[in-house]
Amino acid sequence: MLAARFIPIFLKYHAIRYGYKSYGERTKSMTLTNIGRIELPKSMQKYVEHMEMVMYPTRKSPINGGMVAINDELVISFARTIKEADLIRAFFQELTQTHNLNVHVYSNDGR
């Protein structure tokens, strides 16, 4: 939203605070956070080939995800307390079908 750039930060803060107090944890199904691209010092690069950002789920947020990019690879991790994986499956289907990305999915629950 380009228009949001012109709204003073103190007004944005109050709007976000109002939204959280009004709806907060009651209406969310998951949290997804992106810590961005990690640039390692050259001396460390040969020792780190993969990194994950895991944000553990809670009772009020049963699915949580984290994103991190390192060595030209974007890693998206999900952790969940519920059995259903439909939302996660739909997320990766959207990435592969809409954006034609090469996605590798692995899991620790035998699927």
Instruction: State the pLDDT confidence band at 26, using cuts at 50, 70 and 90.
Output: low
Contact 70, 51 (CB under 8 A): yes
Segment 96-106 shows an average pLDDT of 86
54-92 burial by CB neighbour count: b if 16+ within 10 A, else e?
ebebeeebbbbbbbbbbeeeeebebebeeeebeebeebb
pTM of this prediction exceeds 0.75 = no
Rg for the chain, CA atoms, rounded: 17
Please state, rounded to an integer, the average pLDDT across all residues of the chain.
Answer: 85
Residues 33-77 have pLDDT tens digits of: 899 999 999 999 999 988 998 888 888 788 899 999 998 899 999
Spell out the domain ranges in the chain.
Answer: 29-111
Cα torsion through 90, 93, 95, 99, rounded to 10: -130
Rounded distance, CA 95 to CA 76, Å? 11
